[in-house]
Amino acid sequence: MEKISAVKGMQDIFQPESGLWQYIESLIRDEMSAFAYGEIRTPILEKTELFVRGVGDATDIVKKEMYTFSDKGGRSVTMRPEGTAPVVRAMNEHGLLTSGDPISKYYYIGPMFRYERPQKGRLRQFHQFGVECCGSESPYIDAEVIQILYNVLTKLKLSDISVRLNSLGCAECRPVFRQSAEKYFSGIKDKLCPECAERITINPLRIYDCKTPSCKENIAGAPVILEHLCAGCKDHFNEVKYALNSIKVPFVTDALLVRGLDYYTRTAFEVTSKHLGAQDALGGGGRYDGLISELGGPKTPAAGFGMGIERVIIAMKNQNVAPELKTGCTAYIVPLTKNEAGYAFKLLDILRKANISSQMAVSEKKAGAHFKDAEKTGADFAVIVGEDEIKNGAPTVKDLRKRTQQSVSETELANYIARNL
């Protein structure tokens, strides 16, 4: 029979790699508890409409990267390509955004799906840690959200990261700016790459982000959003920077930073690492004051970000800061023949009840081979059960690290191992 492989761009994660995931996730959960954010878990499948409306039908994500299909009832559903729209949907649906309520602060960790060409740091199923903070337009919320991402990355011992910060303006000043950008780029349309030429009318802001050398040159003379912010946005941006400075989160302002999702207003930020390949963003996010009402909720300002866990892992490995994680068990029980298997199984039960990580050899091999296996599983002790041991009611406990062994009574077994661990 032919082997069945995993779906393109989707990975299996198992030991010892999964230990690294648990380490990262628990660090995140600790940090979120310090920031008083609760966890939210939303379905992987949502109505397609949610992303079309939330993420924006002009974005690449919606235009060509979604796993969309019809379910058996003929409804168009989509495997979530990002976390913000589902979280907002859930909060709206459960009435968590009623005005007067305290701010809603939630985080999530889970898989996202985008139909893209896989490469280093880019998968079709990838995992994001994200936070959404809804209900306030305070610049301290922007700073808090950026701080969370910065703290998590720093606590994971990543260095050489940089936080880039920009303001994209609001519903008042952005349209004005957009118009002047449109005007400017229309004038030099023939000098732009084909994609950017199309972007002029669809979303001229995206041109600022283009990496084509010819476009980059032309952007130099273009109007800059930061210089066209309204007074409110300018103040807000300054206050975000002030707040970040006061808690010593380093950042650089980057007037060309534009994010690929349509819903961002005012603050936009991205954290990149020098230790990644072409896909160098570890995470990014910003403020989205218009999204919640766009999705049918009350007019509610909000901010958040998403962080790619696979990319964080790549950076950790490249920087050699992934912790050494112990795998395997503490005790490996070796019945020398199948005659001793029954008694050995009972000892196994005793150890497990004492919370000592244990397993038993179930294949028939000669003793030497069993010890090799024990070593490979990472066991610290082998518990040998042969004819003599059963006769004496005392298995032989062998310390695989010291290469010493000793007869220990059945009743003392768990204590002995716990003591000598």
Min separation Cβ 307 and RNA, Å: 6
Kindly state the tokens that stand for 238: 């300054």
Binding segment toward RNA, per CB under 7 A, in 172-180, 245-253, 393-401, 413-421: 393-401
In whole angstroms, what is the distance from residue 127 CA to residue 57 CA? Answer: 23
Kindly state the tokens that stand for 283: 């995470």
Q: Are strands 104-113 and 38-39 parallel, antiparallel or unpaired?
A: parallel
Q: Given candidates 396, 410, 416, 420, which one binds RNA under the rule CB under 7 A?
A: 396
CB 414 within 8 A of CB 348: no
Q: Given candidates 27, 197, 224, 281, which one binds RNA under the rule CB under 7 A?
A: 281
Kindly state the tokens that stand for 52: 């079309």
Q: Which is nearer to RNA, 284 or 290 (CB)?
A: 284
Q: Given candidates 132, 144, 289, 389, which one binds RNA under the rule CB under 7 A?
A: 389
Min separation Cβ 404 and RNA, Å: 8
384 lies in the site for RNA, by CB under 7 A: yes
Residues numbered 134-193 forming contacts with RNA, rule: CB under 7 A: none
Q: Give DSSP secondary structure letters for 255-266.
A: TT---SSTT-EE
Kindly state the tokens that stand for 218: 């032309």
Min separation Cβ 202 and RNA, Å: 12
Alpha-carbon distances of 159 from 248, 272, 276, rounded to whole Å: 15, 10, 12
Min separation Cβ 353 and RNA, Å: 24
Angle at which helix 341-353 crosses helix 413-420, to 10 degrees, equals: 60
Residues near RNA (CB under 7 A), total? 67
Q: Which helix (H) or strand (E) holds 292?
A: helix 291-294
Identify the DSSP state of 208: G
Q: Given candidates 261, 344, 348, 413, which one binds RNA under the rule CB under 7 A?
A: 261
Q: Which helix (H) or strand (E) holds 376?
A: helix 367-376
Min separation Cβ 15 and RNA, Å: 16
Q: Which is nearer to RNA, 251 or 371 (CB)?
A: 371
Binding segment toward RNA, per CB under 7 A, in 175-183, 221-229, 242-250, 362-370: 362-370
Residues numbered 202-231 forming contacts with RNA, rule: CB under 7 A: 206, 209-212
Mask for 117-136, x = binds RNA (CB under 7 A): xxxxxxx--x-x--------
Q: Given candidates 25, 67, 116, 182, which one binds RNA under the rule CB under 7 A?
A: 116
254 lies in the site for RNA, by CB under 7 A: no
The backbone torsions φ and ψ at residue 140, rounded to the nearest 5 degrees and listed phi first, read: -70, -25
Q: Given candidates 48, 253, 293, 405, which one binds RNA under the rule CB under 7 A?
A: 405
In whole angstroms, what is the distance from residue 203 CA to residue 195 CA? Answer: 11
Residues numbered 7-26 forming contacts with RNA, rule: CB under 7 A: 8-9
Q: Are strands 331-335 and 358-360 parallel, antiparallel or unpaired?
A: parallel
First to last CA, the chain: 46
Q: Which is nearer to RNA, 279 or 353 (CB)?
A: 279
Q: Which is nearer to RNA, 174 or 398 (CB)?
A: 398
In whole angstroms, what is the distance from residue 371 CA to residue 54 CA? Answer: 58
Find tokens 């009972």 and name the residue: 346
CB 235 within 8 A of CB 183: no
In whole angstroms, what is the distance from residue 185 CA to residue 318 CA? Answer: 40
Residues numbered 289-348 forming contacts with RNA, rule: CB under 7 A: 306-308, 310-311, 336
Q: Given candidates 374, 408, 413, 417, which one binds RNA under the rule CB under 7 A?
A: 374
Min separation Cβ 354 and RNA, Å: 22
275 lies in the site for RNA, by CB under 7 A: no
Alpha-carbon distances of 374 from 337, 360, 377, rounded to whole Å: 16, 9, 5
Q: Which is nearer to RNA, 98 or 327 (CB)?
A: 327
Q: Given candidates 89, 259, 266, 275, which one binds RNA under the rule CB under 7 A?
A: 259
Q: Is 95 left (phi over 0), alpha (psi -120 to 50) or beta?
A: left
Bridge partners (DSSP) of residue 405 are 398
2 lies in the site for RNA, by CB under 7 A: yes
> Where do contacts with RNA occur on this chain (CB under 7 A)?
2, 5-6, 8-9, 59-61, 65, 82, 114, 116-123, 126, 128, 195, 206, 209-212, 259-261, 270, 277-284, 306-308, 310-311, 336, 365-369, 371-372, 374-376, 384, 386-389, 396, 398-401, 403, 405
